[in-house]
Structure 1
Amino acid sequence: MPDMRPETSVIIPTWNRRELVARAIDSVLDQTREVEEIIVVDDGSTDGTGEVLAQRYGERITVLVQANAGVSAARNRGLAMARGRYLALLDSDDVWLPEKIARQVAFLESNPGIGLVLCDVVRVGVDGATIDVFERRVQIPEDGPALRWVLRDPALAPLSALMRREVHEDVGGFDESLRTAEDLDFHLRVAARWGIGVVPEPLARALRGHDGLSALASTEDDYIAVMERAAEAAKGAVPEDARRQALATAYVKNAESSVWRQRYGEAWALARKAWALGPEAPLRRRLLRLPVMAGKRAVRSMLPGGG
């Protein structure tokens, strides 16, 4: 009996973005390879999102409405409802370029050992001007087992991913207990169990510099908790030095962020953790620059007993 499931399902969480979400949906409908199931999860919008979508798209999309519970809960509800052999995520302020699904489905069909495939992402400002390009091949230099690289740089950009249904069934959804860094946590859990591939082409555009789901930066607490948990789980799965350097990188990155936020005590604590791991030369140089970043007055507050 033939498989009657959709080939690809996309889940689009949204909250009070009735204009932007329509742009996201249109980019899915414009794919050169049809996305047969479009699920929009309205996470408690109060701007008439549901009515606008019903009028504009009718039965071409499925809209699930829930009380506001956050992006992870919205993604998880959509993933639980999706029927496709391949599953994709798209935040409501982002868009796909027309060849995105065609290129990624073809990749997965040609690489049965890969569970999730990523693409490059063009990041744009509110004026439409390009900010930069997130090049995935820099992050993941070769297709296949990728935990050692994802540990070092766990950024996911959910709009760039297409995964086999079995990946979600295996690793589960997004951790709803995390306020931020839930996408990093998901990427790390996938990398621990599945091969990851890259189509090194810019096939998606992410909007930056406005309020909303993707404008939230990961807090230091969530980021560090996710990285420490992943590093502990990776013992024996990656070379020990690679595991330690990945954890040191996380500490250094967040120490720098803490300095910029004038949270000097936290910066100092993270810097000490990073130093204890024996960081490689580039990380040591970044640690030694922290006092310069902080300034003399801040340095005194970072010293034991300083004020």
Structure 2
Amino acid sequence: MSHPPKISVIIPTYNREKLLPLTLDSILGQSCEDFEIIVVDDGSTDGTRAAIDARGDPRIRYVYKQNGGESSATNYGWRLARGRYAAVVSSDDPVLPGWMETMEKFMDANPSILVAYPDWRLIDIDGNLVQHLKTEEYAFTRMVSWLLTMPGPGSFIRREALGDFGDLRDAQYRYAPDLETWLRLALRGDFARVPHELASWRTHATSITVADRSLARAREMPRLVRHFFSRPDLPPEIRRQKRYALSRAYWTAAWILHENRPLLSDWYLLRSYWLAPNDPPELPAYLKRFHRPSPARLWRNLLVALGLNRN
């Protein structure tokens, strides 16, 4: 391909030889043709390279690097991307027919939009439909205060407008690098929802979102929020969201730990309610917090943590 492609699709991958081909085929089968696929193999030890070579498509560029995590692989691909628009697609998340054409047309027709994101569907390990997901209409204040990653699978970024942006991912965040990316990007331009179901997200046992309930993951959310609000360039209306955003971060930490470390989960939940006693009335039901832990529950969980619960 002699001229720069219009669209760059970045696929970070690690040991996904069985699922990656499905994602590649979903992209190669799009009606648009002016694109490149940059597969960044983050140190795979399976047959990832063979699965890519079997496609034999010159639009696929394969690069191998030592394992460094999803953020490192994504940044590697971001630096190699040449397209006007860029999309980061997880190696196990196929896109739907019409994805690229619809997103490209929307970005072309709305030059002031920095990021566009579609609706998407949740699928299981076998690709079966679990749920249709209608994304929230974009509002920066809500994305910040609710800690809601409004852009999800299938999002397009106007890469040409970000010449001085640097790396797409902040590598210090392992568990929520996409949220941190969207918060930084939102300071550079407007986002918009594209009301069409065009992508998918696969839930399976090896997904960090599904499987990881570690203390490290729980601690990352408050740290991410504090780091974001330490920026000197935040607009006043965004800075005013800090207290509730922190309460959401502690609630997320409580949710992560509620099965494995109930006492610490309750402590995080108490901090969440101390920062913000009430959720805003417009908060969707699926984002509402657990109820504040009762004294009886706290006492019971303390006894369990001390090994004194005889029941």
TM-score (norm 2): 0.83
Tell whether 2:14 aligns with 1:15.
yes
Cα drift, residue 14 of structure 1: 1.1
What secondary structure does 1:206 align onto?
Answer: strand
Aligned partner (choices 138, 143, 155) of residue 150 of structure 1: 143
Q: Aligned with 2:221: secondary structure?
A: helix
2:117–2:194 CA contact under 8 A, matched in 1: yes
Partner of 1:48: 47
Mean Cα deviation higher: 192-201 or 168-177: 168-177
Kept after mapping to 2: 8 A contact 1:90/1:158: no
1:215-230 equivalences under 5 Å are 215=210, 217=212, 219-230=217-228
1:267, 1:155 → 2: CA distance?
A: 25
Per-residue deviation, 1:286: 4.0
CA contact (8 A) 2:19 2:92 kept: yes
CA distance in 2, matches of 1:82, 1:100: 19
Name the CA shift for 1:240/1:50 in 2 (closer, same or farther; >3 Å). closer
Shifted more, 208-217 versus 126-135: the winner is: 208-217
Indicate the residue corresponding to 1:191 in structure 2. Answer: 186
Report 1:63-82 matches (<5 A).
Answer: 63-82=62-81
- Tell me the SS of whatever aligns to 2:54: helix
Question: 1:221 Cα shift?
Answer: 1.3
Partner of 2:55: helix, strand, or coil?
A: helix
CA distance in 1, matches of 2:267, 2:8: 45
| Secondary structure in structure 1 of the residue aligned to 2:163 | helix
Q: Which amino acid aligns with 2:29?
A: D
Distance 1:204 1:294, change over 3 A: farther
CA distance in 2, matches of 1:79, 1:111: 23
SS in 1 for 2:196: strand
In structure 2, do the counterparts of structure 1 residues 263 and 82 end up closer, same or farther at CA, with 3 Å as the change threshold? same
1:104–1:162 CA contact under 8 A, matched in 2:
yes
Question: 1:131 offset after TM fit, Å?
Answer: 2.4
Letter in 2 for 1:189: R
Please report how far the alpha carbon of residue 55 of structure 1 lies from its aligned counterpart in structure 2 after TM superposition.
3.1
CA contact (8 A) 1:10 1:35 kept: no
Taking structure 1 as reference, are residues 212 and 278 closer, same or farther at Cα in structure 2, changes over 3 Å only? closer
What CA distance in whole angstroms lies between the structure 2 residues aligned with 1:108 and 1:275? 42
Cα 1:196/1:157, change in 2 over 3 Å = closer
Q: How far 1:91 sits from its partner (Å)?
A: 0.8
Within a 5 Å distance, the mapping from 1:269-284 to structure 2 comes to 269-280=268-279
1:166 aligns with 160
Aligned residues: 295
Aligned mates of 1:240, 1:72 — CA distance in 2: 26
In 2, the alpha carbon distance for the partners of 1:105 and 1:99 equals 10
Q: How far apart, CA to CA, are the structure 2 residues paired with 1:93 and 1:299?
A: 40
How do 1:1-307 and structure 2 match up within 5 A?
Answer: 4-136=3-135, 138=136, 141-142=137-138, 146-151=139-144, 152-155=146-149, 158-172=152-166, 173-212=168-207, 215=210, 217=212, 219-233=217-231, 236-238=235-237, 241-265=240-264, 267-280=266-279, 286=289, 288-291=291-294, 294=297, 296-298=299-301
Query: What is the TM-score when the length of structure 1 is the normalising length?
Result: 0.84
Amino acid at match of 2:293: L
> What is the percentage of aligned positions where both structures have the same residue?
30
The C-alpha deviation readout for 1:184-221, integer Å capped at 9, x for no partner, is 11011111221001102110111112325665658111
Between the aligned partners of 1:51 and 1:287, the Cα distance in structure 2 is 47
Q: CA deviation at 1:153?
A: 3.1
Quote the Cα distance in structure 2 between the aligned partners of 1:135 and 1:214: 19
Counterpart Cα distance in 1 of 2:115 and 2:198: 15
The 3 A distance-change label for structure 1 pair 286 and 41 is closer
Aligned-residue offset at 1:266: 5.1
1:91–1:71 Cα change, 3 Å: same
Matches of 1:58 and 1:213 in 2, distance apart? 31
Contact 2:141 2:237 in 1 (8 A): yes
In structure 1, distance between residues paired with 2:289 and 2:268: 15
Structure 1 residues 252 and 162: alpha-carbon distance in aligned structure 2, compared to 1, 3 A threshold: same
Change (3 A) 1:168 1:260: farther
Letter in 2 for 1:161: S
Q: Which runs of 5+ in 2 are unaligned?
A: none
